[in-house]
Structure 1
Amino acid sequence: MSTTQSHTPTGLAALEQRLEHDLLTLNWRARAWVAPRSHAGQPVHDVLIIGAGQAGLAASMALAQQGIAAVLLDRAARDLEGPWATTARMETLRSPKELTGPALGLPSLTFRAWFEAQWGDAAWEALDKIPRLQWMDYLRWYRRVTQADVRNGHAVTAVRPRGDGQVEVDVSVSGAPGTTWLARRVVLATGRDGLGGPQIPAFMQGVERSRWAHSSDMLDYERLRGLRVGVIGVGSSAMDSAGTALECGAASVDLIARRSEMPRINKSKGSGVPGLTQGHADLPDAWKWRIRHYINAQQVPPPQGSTLRVSRHPNAFFHFDCAVQSVRAQGAGLQVATTQGVFAFDFLILATGFEINWARKPEFAAFAGQVRTWGQRYQPPLGDEDRELSDSPDLGPVFEFQPTAPGACPGLERIHCFCYPAALSHGTVSGDIPAISDGARRLATGLASLFYRDDVEHHFATLQAYAEPELTGEEWTPAHTPSRVLPGTGPHTTTPGAATHPQENT
């Protein structure tokens, strides 16, 4: 006999009431304890988080548990934070629906609770993968119920660490001239391309920008109707772009891969155990590099559903062992020379991933050249070289940047990298759904420790000045002790065998 009960939808209002009670019983929004600061009459924020996607929201909620206030700055309009409703084109998430994502251990904050409250558990059982736009709807709800302090239309144009315990952040609001905010700590929750941007191969140099796009670009795929489209790459973003182009009426889509065959096994999935999630940061350098490089080299295959989304079209063509050698304009189209021959396209999409490239993040120019990288920290064995890993920042235990030399950039350690490039130092806990809560807790508890250490004199003075009595002195009556002890055993009684002095008997 099944023990599973069937539940009908209770609605979001009931779920939100339950969540509020959970937060109350857990004392989640802890009392504020960080000493407020100001500078020249201007408030100094405890934490500014740049980016209000799922990483920024999770970090904000984890900080709230520690009694630390955070303000999130996002250049996007409300409800369009992150890639989900803008540049992402997958039909569903790759992650299994059971993963709890940014819920931070709160059952009533999970996607599953949000889903079942609206559609019931039968619909949950029938659900295969989470639709992309539905995940965005969940994050919008998450933002509201966690009361995240998000400022939309706030674009960060410069971040400048200082040696006096503060970081300057220039912020442009809705395109208006910027103002300078001050913060004690700044968290970069800036996503997959958090320290760079799309990786553009050298063979694209000189090709007119209107003839091609990167898979992460904002692109109206309807403009590809009737066109011959080439896609460089066969990873997830390649499939998403190819599938979207085909569904929008592209005449043909050719996917071009330099690999001899499609990767088939998701090695990163095989590494997803709590031991690595919690222990990656403590591994020796050689093991950190070895694990991350192996996953990079094996490459992550596209999801099966995404691949079938493309291959079901008769005008989709997969080409392997087909390295691109050059791309040049030919009339209104492009000629793409490869090791297998020359292709003719009307439009080209580069699904070539992202790179760490500080030059593409001018807002970080004030400190970019001072950040210590893994290339400066570790020399891998011959044959294990990896540009992505070498360029990754060498982060401290609280995701903080470290300078190339001690004292080289005062205040740099007050900027924390909570985005994908943290993976080599901390593991994949700062962006991907599976372990985002683990990373957010690590960040929040680490920041709580740093705030206390910074203000330890203030907190000790507060401790000394604390004078709220637990007792008034009226809770007891002092006893007449001599009447309660054995005769001859009081404090003025002579110990047997000891010398007697006249004053003792006075």
Structure 2
Amino acid sequence: MTESDNPRGQAGLAALEARLRQDLAWLELPARAWTMPRTHDGQAVLDVAVIGGGMAGLAVSATLKHLGIQACAFDQSPAGLEGPWATTARMETLRSPKQLTGPALGLPALTFRAWFEAQYGSEAWEALDKIPRLQWMDYLRWYRQVLDLDIRNGHRIEQVLPRADNLVALSMTTPDGARTVLARRVVLATGRDGLGGAYVPPLADSLPRRLWAHSSDEMDYGSLRGKRVGVVGAGASAMDSAATALEAGAASVDMLIRRADIPRVNKSKGAGNPGLTHGHYGLPDEWKWRLRHYINSQQVPPPRGSTLRVSRHASARFNLDCALDAIDVDGDVLRVRTPKGVFELDFLIFSTGFRIALETRPEFSAFAPRIRFWRDRFAPRPGQEDGELSDSPDLGPAFEFQEKTPGACPGLSRIHAFCYPAALSHGTVSGDIPAISDGARRLGQGIAGLLYQEDVELHYAALQAYAEPEVFGDEWVPAPPPALES
């Protein structure tokens, strides 16, 4: 639905924004600024720098602002294109149920539903099945604007450097040239691939790059018109990539699916409840691992709608029990060898997920070797081995990195990983829609406590110097002394 179809939209949004302002005023939000200003060599120091202006970065920035903490977020994308929603995501609708409150931080007027109904009405909401992907991006743009969050676009982080003087330096390129920003705390709100990147199997290493892509790559699917396309995988992104290729005019799409069947049940959905959200961090290591490994091993099924979006095309083929054995290149043709035979393809899309690999990210090179990962401290039971979990960082209560060798990297704990790889330590509160507000508040409150504790002497001095009178001495008349008895 476009604005031209919806003349009530702007008036409805204006009324909703007025209500939100009133709600915030009633809750005394944002809190007054209370952190101690800090400078270094004449340069102002941020309380918190947030890397990433997508959904997680917005939720964190809003939380910190409401807590009275100075925060600034930096994102490499142009304004309005943060995160995957309007760039690399290819689903028609979100996979999450529409009623989830997402990054609203407990504020009803900040929910997607409030934003949607203000423009289109309650009947349209009831008729809505799932949230259209691009409409979700419009909502996030509004979220940023209505909360007046400080997001700097076109800022690409080149290096994150923890220092021994209790500061973290961020070297970045900006629209105005190179710049270094200093912050007391840094939050990595860097998304699904935030601590690594796309994973492709080793057999892709020898393939010409023009003949394949990862499902998370930005690419023109129109270039696949008339081509024989293979898609490796059976998850949501595999279905979305296959459907997009078919809709763009691909001659055929072969889904190459390693498993004997496509997963049917979303186990992670069955695990979602406030008890797990708030209790995961405090669980024994064995239970954390057991829960996350079970969900990983069962895998998340593709959405029904995404699967039907593929199967409605006669030229789509679902090839089960079809692991990749080898790939030969003959000019511009890929011959993919599998247990089911050889597939001749013109292009291959790997929908094979992401990996945690900080060592592959130049911006993290100053501290990546010093981080303590779960593999450094926990050995799973036989049969529960899991590479993703082993590679996950072992995070503290405020999502902070911890040193593998104490004292080897001063300042490392000032960097907080609020992205998907935090799931083993904290549960799924830092990357997905269902519990993103809970995670943002946990992080924000943790950082608030750390900032106060570091400056407790200064806060105590400010307490002693506080001299705003509430009683002035003219509120009473001293009683005369009692008369002496004769």
Quick check: TM above 0.5? yes
CA deviations over 1:78-109 (Å, ceiling 9, x no partner): 10000000000000001000000000000000
Letter in 1 for 2:336: V
| Native 8 Å contact 1:233 1:255 kept in 2 | yes
| Native 8 Å contact 1:204 1:326 kept in 2 | no
Q: Which has the larger radius of gyration?
A: 1
Could you say what secondary structure the match of 2:406 adopts? coil
CA deviations over 1:130-155 (Å, ceiling 9, x no partner): 00000000000000001110100000
| Native 8 Å contact 2:359 2:369 kept in 1 | no
- Shift in Å, 1:177: 4.5
| Native 8 Å contact 2:266 2:301 kept in 1 | yes
Could you say what secondary structure the match of 1:184 adopts? strand
- Shift in Å, 1:339: 1.6
Aligned to 2:41: 40
Could you say what secondary structure the match of 2:64 adopts? helix
Letter in 2 for 1:195: L
- Shift in Å, 1:331: 2.3
Distance 2:409 2:337 in 1: 46
Aligned to 2:4: none
Aligned to 1:217: 217
Unpaired runs of at least 5, structure 2: 1-7
Could you say what secondary structure the match of 2:45 adopts? strand
| Native 8 Å contact 2:51 2:186 kept in 1 | yes
Confirm whether residue 31 of structure 1 aligns to residue 32 of structure 2.
yes
Distance 1:398 1:138 in 2: 28
Aligned to 2:298: 298
After TM superposition, list the pairs within 5 Å mapping 1:272-311 onto structure 2. 272-311=272-311
Letter in 1 for 2:226: G
- Shift in Å, 1:118: 0.4
- Shift in Å, 1:52: 0.2
Distance 1:401 1:39 in 2: 24
Aligned to 1:105: 106
Aligned to 2:150: 149
Letter in 2 for 1:47: V
Letter in 1 for 2:171: D
| Native 8 Å contact 1:356 1:388 kept in 2 | yes
Aligned to 1:57: 58
After TM superposition, list the pairs within 5 Å mapping 1:249-264 onto structure 2. 249-264=249-264
Distance 1:247 1:178 in 2: 42
Distance 2:110 2:161 in 1: 35
Runs of 4+ aligned residues of structure 1 deviating over 4 Å after TM superposition are none
Aligned to 2:116: 115
Of stretches 280-289 and 338-347 in structure 1, the one that deviates more from structure 2 is 338-347
Could you say what secondary structure the match of 1:317 adopts? strand
Aligned to 1:504: none
Aligned to 2:17: 16
CA deviations over 1:327-383 (Å, ceiling 9, x no partner): 121122101111221110000000000001123211000000000000011100011
Of stretches 354-363 and 218-227 in structure 1, the one that deviates more from structure 2 is 354-363
- Shift in Å, 1:478: 1.6
Distance 1:198 1:381 in 2: 28
- Shift in Å, 1:482: 2.5
What count of residue pairs does the alignment treat as equivalent?
478
- Shift in Å, 1:326: 1.1
Confirm whether residue 124 of structure 1 aligns to residue 125 of structure 2.
yes
Distance 1:209 1:404 in 2: 37
CA deviations over 1:14-44 (Å, ceiling 9, x no partner): 1111111111111111110101111001111
- Shift in Å, 1:69: 1.4
Aligned to 1:96: 97
TM-score by length of 2: 0.97
CA deviations over 1:46-88 (Å, ceiling 9, x no partner): 1000000000000011111110011000000010000000000
- Shift in Å, 1:481: 4.9
Could you say what secondary structure the match of 1:78 adopts? coil
- Shift in Å, 1:407: 0.6
Could you say what secondary structure the match of 1:300 adopts? coil
Distance 2:364 2:209 in 1: 25
After TM superposition, list the pairs within 5 Å mapping 1:123-272 onto structure 2. 123-174=124-175, 177-272=177-272
| Native 8 Å contact 1:48 1:70 kept in 2 | yes
Letter in 1 for 2:386: D
Confirm whether residue 409 of structure 1 aligns to residue 409 of structure 2.
yes
